[in-house]
Amino acid sequence: DGGITQSPKYLFRKEGQNVTLSCEQNLNHDAMYWYRQDPGQGLRLIYYSQIVNDFQKGDIAEGYSVSREKKESFPLTVTSAQKNPTAFYLCASSSPGTGGTELFFGEGSRLTVL
Amino acid sequence: AQSVTQPDIHITVSEGASLELRCNYSYGATPYLFWYVQSPGQGLQLLLKYFSGDTLVQGIKGFEAEFKRSQSSFNLRKPSVHWSDAAEYFCAVGPIYNQGGKLIFGQGTELSVKP
């Protein structure tokens, strides 16, 4: 079945460590996104990529980095510069063929900094 | 400024009762509107969407929503709530044409269902 796979589902990290969250999609979608979710704050856009080898900052990009070397993959690195990294992270994808801005989401990754 | 407001942070309804979740938006162009549902610890699932045509749209799981341009609203309704509807619901607005897929999400409404 087509979909978006995020891993790991749960991740613990010590302060000062970088951590990378994986996002893979087999929907053949051009665009991919990373959102951060905190209680009571809805979803906030971290980074997005519309094509391979290109990506743009979202509303809260500081302390995060991404790469888009393959169409199906869009990993997110949470760096030690992110001051409050504990959150639920959601990856999504979209394609013009599906109506434009309709997003398809993965199951999420919960990061906890100890 | 572009924004989405969901005035109710938490709503509790009895099983079998009707439900209406409110959503108001501020958007400079013709909007593309969505409702998503999220179960605890899970991703978001699309319930329904609207960008043109009949202003009353039907979605999955028996949900519907009505677009009211004059009120800048896109309220979600269900005639009879089931216990399995307990979840968080997000309203979102975005451009009709793919311009970076920058949906703007509301803060969410958490729905609890009493037996």
Q: What is the pLDDT of residues A37-75, one digit of tens each?
A: 998 788 999 999 988 999 999 999 999 999 999 999 999
* Nearest chain B residue (CA) to A50: B100
A14 Cβ contact partners less than 8 Å away, ≥ 6 residues apart: A113, A114
Q: What is the pLDDT of residues A17-41, one digit of tens each?
A: 999 999 999 999 888 999 999 987 8
Residue A2 clears pLDDT 80, i.e. is over it? no
Q: Quickly tell me which residue has 């979710």 as its tokens.
A: A37
Chain B positions in Cβ-Cβ contact with residue A31 (cut-off 8 Å) = 98, 100-101
* Nearest chain A residue (CA) to B37: A105
Residue A60 CA: distances (Å) to CA of A15, A72, A79, A83, B49: 20, 23, 13, 12, 26
Under 8 Å between Cβ of B25 and B3: yes
CB contact under 8 A, A33 and B95: no
CB contact under 8 A, B103 and A99: no
Chain B positions in Cβ-Cβ contact with residue A45 (cut-off 8 Å) = 102
Per-residue burial over A28-61, b if 16 or more Cβ lie within 10 Å, else e, is: ebbbbbbbbbeeeebbebbbbbbeeeebeebeeb
Chain B positions in Cβ-Cβ contact with residue A43 (cut-off 8 Å) = 44, 90, 105
Under 8 Å between Cβ of A21 and A88: no
CB contact under 8 A, A50 and B32: no
* Nearest chain A residue (CA) to B90: A42
pLDDT > 90 in chain B, percent: 77
Q: Quickly tell me which residue has 């980095």 as its tokens.
A: A65
Cβ burial of B76 (10 Å; 0-12, 13-18, 19+) is buried
Q: What is the pLDDT of residues A65-108, one digit of tens each?
A: 999 999 999 999 999 888 899 999 999 998 766 555 688 999 99
Give the distance, in angstroms, between the CA of residue B79 and the centroid of all CA atoms in the same chain.
15
How does residue B27 score in pLDDT terms, banded at 50, 70 and 90? confident
Cα–Cα distance for residue pair B11/B111, rounded to 1 Å: 5
Cα–Cα distance for residue pair B32/B109, rounded to 1 Å: 20
Helix (H, G, I), strand (E, B) or coil at B61: helix
Region B102-107 average pLDDT:
88
Say if B101 is an interface residue toward chain A (CB within 8 Å): yes
Cα–Cα distance for residue pair A13/B97, rounded to 1 Å: 39
